[in-house]
Amino acid sequence: MVNRTVILLNSEQAENDVIDWQKIGHVVTELSQLYHLVKENRIDLILVDESRTDLKRAVATRIRRYNGLTEIWVIVSDGFHPEPEDEYIDGAISRDLGEEGVAKKIKHILNSKDLLDHLQLVGRSTKMKVVSETIERIAQTDISVLIVGPSGSGKELVARALHDNSARREQPFVAINCGALAEGVLESELFGHEKGAFTGSVARREGLFHKAEGGTIFLDEIGETKPDMQVKLLRVLEDGTYYPVGSSEPRKADVRVVSATNRDLTEAIADRLFREDLYFRIGVVKIILPPLWERKSDIQSLLQHFWADKPDLDYSDSALELLTKYDWPGNVRQLKNFADRMAALKPTGLVEVEDIEQFIEEQHAVATHLPVSTGRTVEEAGQELIYRAILSLGNEIRMLRDLITAHLPSESPVPEEEVSPMSVEKGTTMEQMERFLIEQVLAESKGNRKEAAHKLGIGERTLYRKLKKYNLS
C-alpha cells in the first residue's frame, strides 16, 4: 500500500468535513477497519478526530503491535492545542491549517520518520526527532560535535550516524573510551609512540589519529581525561598537530573529532577539572541525547527492534505498561539487556509482568547502596545517599548503645540523646541532616576531604559542592 496515512473520523465528518481527507489518506470510520489496515499494511501515521474517544491507550498499544513506530496525531478544531499529556499520542494537528497546510504538516511528520529510519535511530519521540534533524544539518560539515547523554543512551550510535552521513563516510571511523585507559596509555593509543619511548615499547606504533586519517575519531567519555591530556587534544583540534610519545617531530591529522560525555562538563570546568577552551573546541555543536525515562514512548518500538528476529516472542499489555513505568537507569542499553534476556529464556513465549518484576528486582539487588529510582537530579541522588548513611549510622549507634547499657548497672542507663549524633526531631529537614553528617564525618576524618567523601559514599567534587553550599569550607 503506497498510502501511509489513515484518518479515523466519525461518519458525519467523513461526508461533510471542510477538508477532503480522502486526498490526504485512507479514511475509516470504524476501529475494525483501522485494525485491518494496520495489520495488512505499513501504516506510519494515524490521524484521529478529537471526537473519537474510543481510541484509548489500549487501542493504541494494540495498533502498535504491528508497527511500534506508527504515530497517532489528534485532529483538533481550533488553533490552540496544548501538547498531549498521554505518551501514546504523538501530537495534535489543527483543521485551521486548511487542506494544504495539513498536507504539508503530514509530509513533515513522514519525512521526520524517514530520517530517523535512514539514520538507523529507533523511536518516534519528539526528542529523538530533534536529534536526527541536528545530525542531518551538521553531518556534511567538519565541525566538532559533543554528544551529551547518560551512559547507555546511544552516544556511539549517534557518532556513527554523523560519520556515515558525512563526506568522510568512505574513510575509517575509530572509537575509543577515554575513561577506560590510564593517561599515559591513552596518549600512546591516540598519538602512537616511537620505539624505546617507554619500557616495553620495542617497536614504533601508530596511534588512532593516524588510523582515522581522513575519517572520524570518536572520543567517548572525554570528560574523564586529565588536564595534561586535554592540552594535547586542544592542539589537535586547533591546528591538526600532534606528537607521538617519544617524538619531537609533529604529525598532521586530517580527522573529524566527535566527542561524548555523560557528565556536566561545565561543572567540571568550575571545579578546574576540564579546560574551558577545550570545551568550546569540542562542542561547536552539542547534541543532547535524552535518557530513556524521558522518551518512554519509544520503549515499545525499541522492543520490537530488539526482537526483530524473534517473531514468536511477545509481551502482554500489562507487561508493556510496567516497562513504561520503570525508570531504566541504564537507559537503552539496559532495555536491550532485558530484551536479550527474554529472547534467551522464552524465545517462543509471552513476556509477563512477573518476568519484568524479577528483572527489576535483580537490577536493584546489584546496587542496593544506590537510589534505585532514577529521573532525579544529581543533587537529589546525593542527598538520598547521605540520608541513607544517616539512617544506617543511627542504627549502628543504637546497637552500640544497647551493647553498652547491657553491661552497665541498671540504675545508670545512658540517655539516647547523649550518644546519638543527631536527634532527628519532627520538622528536621533533609538539608539539616545532611549538613550535620558532613560535619561529623569531616571531624572524624580530621579534615581529610578525600577520606570524608569515601565514608559518605559520594565523590570529592560532590562533597566540595556541599561544603560550599553549607559554608563549611
412 pLDDT higher than 70: no
**pLDDT the model gives residue 194:** 79
Q: Span 5-118: which CATH code?
A: 3.40.50.2300
Summarize pLDDT for 213-233 with one digit per residue, the tens: 999 999 999 999 999 999 999
Which residues, listed in sequence order, are joined to residue 75 by a DSSP beta bridge? 49, 93
Q: Where are the alpha helices (DSSP H) in 246-377?
A: 265-270, 276-282, 299-306, 317-325, 331-345, 353-366
Mean pLDDT for 297-315 is 92
377 pLDDT higher than 90: no
pLDDT band at 438 (very low <50, low <70, confident <90, very high): confident
- For residue 78, the tally of other CB atoms under 10 A from its CB is 9
Instruction: Tell me, yes or no, if the pTM score tops 0.85.
Output: no
Q: What's the chain's Rg over C-alpha atoms?
A: 28
**pLDDT the model gives residue 200:** 65
Summarize pLDDT for 147-172 with one digit per residue, the tens: 999 999 999 999 999 999 999 999 99
Q: What angle do CA 338, 287, 90 make, to 5 degrees?
A: 60
421 pLDDT higher than 50: no
Q: Please tell me the distance from the alpha carbon of residue 298 to that of residue 293, in angstroms, as a whole number.
A: 10
Q: Please tell me the distance from the alpha carbon of residue 246 to that of residue 203, in angstroms, as a whole number.
A: 12
391 pLDDT higher than 70: no
Which residues, listed in sequence order, are joined to residue 94 by a DSSP beta bridge? 76
Same topology, domains 5-118 and 293-366? Answer is: no
pLDDT band at 184 (very low <50, low <70, confident <90, very high): confident
pLDDT band at 383 (very low <50, low <70, confident <90, very high): low
Which residues, listed in sequence order, are joined to residue 375 by a DSSP beta bridge? none
Q: Please tell me the distance from the alpha carbon of residue 343 to that of residue 456, in angstroms, as a whole number.
A: 40
**Helix (H) or strand (E) run with residue 403 in it:** helix 378-406
Q: Is 210 exposed, middle or buried (0-12, 13-18, 19+ CB in 10 A)?
A: middle
C-alpha cell at 45: 501515521
**pLDDT the model gives residue 348:** 82
Which residues, listed in sequence order, are joined to residue 260 by a DSSP beta bridge? 147
Q: Percent of the chain beyond pLDDT 70?
A: 82
CA dihedral over 382, 386, 388, 389, signed as positive or negative = positive
Residues 273 and 232 sit within 8 Å (Cβ to Cβ): no
Q: What angle do CA 348, 351, 357 make, to 5 degrees?
A: 145
Q: Please tell me the distance from the alpha carbon of residue 265 to that of residue 395, in angstroms, as a whole number.
A: 38
First vs last C-alpha separation in the chain = 69
365 pLDDT higher than 70: no
**pLDDT the model gives residue 376:** 46
Mean pLDDT for 343-361 is 90
C-alpha cell at 320: 508493556
**Residue 365 identity:** A
86 pLDDT higher than 80: no
Under CATH, which architecture does the 128-288 domain have?
A: 3-Layer(aba) Sandwich (3.40)
**pLDDT the model gives residue 332:** 96
Q: Please tell me the distance from the alpha carbon of residue 244 to that of residue 207, in angstroms, as a whole number.
A: 8
**pLDDT the model gives residue 164:** 97
**pLDDT the model gives residue 296:** 92
pLDDT band at 418 (very low <50, low <70, confident <90, very high): very low
Q: Please tell me the distance from the alpha carbon of residue 88 to that of residue 300, in angstroms, as a whole number.
A: 10
In the chain, what are the domain boundaries?
A: 5-118, 128-288, 293-366, 378-469
Q: Please tell me the distance from the alpha carbon of residue 245 to that of residue 227, in angstroms, as a whole number.
A: 17
Q: Please tell me the distance from the alpha carbon of residue 289 to that of residue 312, in angstroms, as a whole number.
A: 32
- Please tell me the least confidently modeled range out of 8-22, 133-147, 167-181, 340-354: 8-22
Q: Which CATH number fits domain 293-366: 2.170.190.11, 2.40.50.140, 1.10.8.60, 3.40.1030.10?
A: 1.10.8.60
In 126-191, DSSP assigns E strands to: 145-148, 173-177
Residues 141 and 281 sit within 8 Å (Cβ to Cβ): no
